[in-house]
A and B are shown apart, each in its own frame.
Chain A
Amino acid sequence: MSDTVEVTLRAVGVLAAFLVLPLLVGQTEHKVMAHMQGRLGPMYAGGFHGWAQLVADGVKFVQKEDITPAAADKRVFRFAPAVALVPYLVALAAIPLSPDVVAADLPASAVFVLAVTAVGILGTLMAGWASANKYSLLGAMRAAAQLLSYELPMVLAVASVCLAAGSLSLSGIAAAWSPWWLIFQLPGAIVFLVAAVAELQRPPFDMPVADSEIVFGAYTEYTGLRFAFFLLSEYAGIVVMSLLFAVLYLGGWHGLLSDQLGWLWTLLKGFCIAVVVIWLRVAWPRLREDQLQRLAWLVLVPLALAQLALTGVWVVTTA
């Protein structure tokens, strides 16, 4: 019976984190982006510096009419947001905030998170194809091409860390982490960060939703709650990738008072990475499709392979 209670508690905890953290990142994006552009951002909703702006947005999305285009493949169209959203929820469950604070401590959680997030792209593909809209289709194809090419450097970069730690579990990797890795794994970390931003289709890799070219890519036809789900999945993706980066490359809960406040350290490091992701969006223009592919195959993949080889040599010599 206590097992059931514990499972329920963990599930509720993950769901709460899944609903709160993306909103936190979204609000941070509102404010950070505004100040980086010399603006104030939302100031009214909720009173204090517009903290409830995203809640208000959510209420607005709920009130909107849910439109399914007449020519769309209706079942696929309606199902796509769930396919985009649920993988990140599952991935969040496997990311440890500290050795104790983890919803599901899997033996191969690093591979698990990568595998699950790779499923999320199917939601975009389904949305793009089922919308019966040429912009949506173009956006979906761009998304697919982008994600296929950036999946490889990302997996290679993670493989390098796993190799150095001798573990496929995120808890094990963070436990084996030492500050020296900051330099040793730096190329891999950069590759991971770039690939993660590309995987999230965030600027400067937002070709699939380039508004000046293809309206809003695969999500063009979506309104209301389903559109909100896509947005939520984007921000949940930022949360997952930032926490993953913090655990893999920044040592997760390592820090002052890590026994008591380890989870806070992980959240703090992840939050810093999320701010960096937002910062990149503000500072850099969008890449062109050929630049995108060139960066993936001519820079990131060789860099990730070199990092993997370096880690391999290091592991063999120190073993």
Chain B
Amino acid sequence: MTALDVAFAAVGLITAASGLLAVTTRHVVHAALWLVVCLGAVAGCYLVLGAEFVALVQLLVYVGAIVVLVLFALMLTRAPIGPNSEISTSRLHRVLAGVLGAGVTALLAAALVPIAGPAVERHDTSTTQVAEQLFGTWVWPFEILSLLLLVALIAAMAVSRMTRPEQAADEVQAAQVQAAQTPSESA
């Protein structure tokens, strides 16, 4: 039991506890805030395991951007202070979700525990190694993933600009009216 084991157990516990709180809390914004703790603790796990760069990217992308986006979206909706019962799920849902979660956990445990074997030696992964792996061995999956993200981005733009036919006709008319009113703008 080294100091690293203790640290890993601690961040692991925090991750599990905050994850549990994120799904059980009745406050919708609290759930997002517990998610912050959870993702931050996951970054801590990476750090303890020696993958410093991954931990930092986890922090930068998930805590700094994704959760902020989630909170932003929550605030755009009606996110009242205090528990709101109308968005909570029914008892059946909860039981089903619990069973599903337990099942996945059991499956993962059944698959991973036999191959765990003796403790693997921790070795620090330098940023250079990550880069070599990413742009050497895994360059094609990496590029395909970025292409996928690009497609998703363009698709999101297309969806946001897509209009129904009659609505489009209205908009064209409105645009024409606007153009007639302000000729300098359309020029």
Q: Please list the residues of chain A having a beta carbon within 8 angstroms of any beta carbon in chain B.
A: 71-73, 76, 106-108, 111-112, 114-116, 118-119, 121-122, 125-126, 128-130, 132, 137, 140-141, 144-145, 147-148, 151, 155, 168
Are B30 and A151 touching (Cβ within 8 A)?
Answer: no
The answer to whether A151 and B65 touch (CB under 8 A), given A111-B56, A168-B127, is yes
Q: How far is the CB of B104 from chain A (nearest CB, A)?
A: 29
Are B65 and A148 touching (Cβ within 8 A)?
Answer: yes
Residue on A with the closest CB to B55? A115
Partner of B56, one of A108, A125, A129, A151: A108
Let me know if B49 is at the binding interface, CB within 8 A.
no
Q: How far is the CB of A256 from chain B (nearest CB, A)?
A: 33
Are B127 and A118 touching (Cβ within 8 A)?
Answer: no
Q: Please list the residues of chain B having a beta carbon within 8 angstroms of any beta carbon in chain A.
A: 27, 29-30, 33, 36, 40, 52-53, 56-57, 59-60, 63-65, 67-69, 71-72, 75-76, 79, 81-82, 126-127
Partner of A151, one of B27, B40, B64, B76: B64
Are B127 and A130 touching (Cβ within 8 A)?
Answer: no
Are B29 and A147 touching (Cβ within 8 A)?
Answer: no
The answer to whether A118 and B53 touch (CB under 8 A), given A141-B76, A148-B69, is no
Residues of A close to B63: CB separation below 8 A = 115, 118-119, 122
Are A144 and B64 touching (Cβ within 8 A)?
Answer: no
Bound together, the chains give a CA A118 to CA B68 distance in angstroms of 9
Q: How far is the CB of A86 from chain B (nearest CB, A)?
A: 12
The answer to whether A115 and B60 touch (CB under 8 A), given A76-B33, A132-B81, is yes
Q: How far is the CB of A42 from chain B (nearest CB, A)?
A: 36
Bound together, the chains give a CA A286 to CA B81 distance in angstroms of 31
Residues of A close to B81: CB separation below 8 A = 71-73, 129-130, 132
Partner of B75, one of A107, A112, A129: A129
Are B29 and A129 touching (Cβ within 8 A)?
Answer: yes
Residues of B close to A132: CB separation below 8 A = 81
Are B71 and A147 touching (Cβ within 8 A)?
Answer: no
Residues of A close to B71: CB separation below 8 A = 122, 125, 129, 144
Other than A76-B33, A111-B60, A125-B75, give 20 A-B pairs with Cβ distance below 8 A. Answer: A73-B27, A76-B30, A107-B52, A107-B127, A108-B52, A108-B53, A108-B56, A112-B56, A118-B65, A119-B64, A121-B64, A121-B68, A122-B63, A122-B67, A130-B81, A132-B81, A141-B76, A144-B69, A144-B72, A147-B68
Residues of B close to A121: CB separation below 8 A = 64, 68
Residue on B with the closest CB to A118? B64
Residue on B with the closest CB to A69? B81
Bound together, the chains give a CA A122 to CA B34 distance in angstroms of 12
Bound together, the chains give a CA A122 to CA B67 distance in angstroms of 9
